[in-house]
Amino acid sequence: MSGFFKSSIGRKVAMALSAFFLMFFLIIHLAVNITSLFSENLFNELSHFMGTNPLVQFALQPVLLFGVIFHFVMGFILELKNKKANGVSYARNNGAANSTWISRNMIYSGLVILAFLVLHFADFWVHEINVKYVNVQPEDPTRYYHELVEKFVPIWRVVAYVVSFVLLGLHLAHGFTSAFQSMGSTAGRKKALQNIGKAYSIIIPLGFIIIAIFHHLNH
């Protein structure tokens, strides 16, 4: 089995598995955050549960962190390997004749998402770790909503979020069906997966964009 993951197809499967995990995580993340639009209490309750539950904190969070790092590192490794397989570049190459721009440039949408994650981790996760473990502050189960709203006051951050989520949407528009294809999805499911992928890649980023703009306008 270890030989399988060293093969080109094994690496594709590993990429797809980490993508599935991250796509599942995005649903959970959006489901929690969307509550901030209509209920401060519910958002605080859910955030407090996520921030204090030992299973989430010490089992799921490390897995998530590993999943994120793995997806990026493997993405870069595959990109470098593919560049090496190319040889001499074409003087004229009409890529648009046979494929979409985003499918050929997943590395660039990925890099924008990586830059976004640096900002996102600095905004929320580093702050979270600081409050809980470094400069330990008294437990306040109602702090989450205000921290969220406060972050979206500066317009530059809202713009950065919107741009990043548009790129995430494009990344998912190809990535969703691509992950299933890599896992060997059968031809009969192609149409349904394309439709679900289209809906997923619009709904998830749009949800996060609405949250950012809503709190910017309502602070």
Please report, as ranges, the residues that interact with another protein according to CB under 8 A: 1, 3-4, 7-13, 78, 81-82, 84-95, 97-100, 103-104, 106, 174, 177-178, 181-187, 190
Q: What is the dihedral of CA 178, 27, 198, 175, to 10 degrees?
A: -20
Spatial separation of the C-alpha atoms in residues 21 and 92, rounded to whole Å: 38
Distance from C-alpha of 169 to C-alpha of 207, rounded to nearest angstrom: 11
Report the nearest approach of another protein to the CB of residue 87 (Å): 4
To the nearest whole angstrom, how small is the minimum distance from the Cβ of residue 195 to another protein? 17
Per the CB < 8 A criterion, the answer to whether 102 and 173 are in contact is yes
Helices 61-86, 8-34: axis angle to 10 degrees equals: 140
Residue type, 33: N
Based on CB atoms, which residue is closest to another protein, 171 or 216? Answer: 171
Residue 180 Cβ vs another protein, minimum distance, rounded to whole Å: 8
Residue 164 and residue 113 in contact, taking contact as beta carbons nearer than 8 Å: yes
| H/E segment holding residue 137 | none
Nearest-approach distance from CB 81 to another protein, in angstroms: 6
Can you read off the two tokens belonging to residue 163?
């741009």
The encoded tokens of residue 47 equal: 């955030």
Measured from the CB of residue 201, what is the shortest distance to another protein in angstroms? 15
Pick 63 or 80: Cβ nearer another protein? 80
Residue whose CB is less far from another protein, 106 or 149: 106
Which residue, 7 or 52, is less far from another protein as judged by CB? 7
Q: Which is nearer to another protein, 95 or 154 (CB)?
A: 95
Is 144 within 8 Å of 47 (Cβ atoms)? Answer: yes
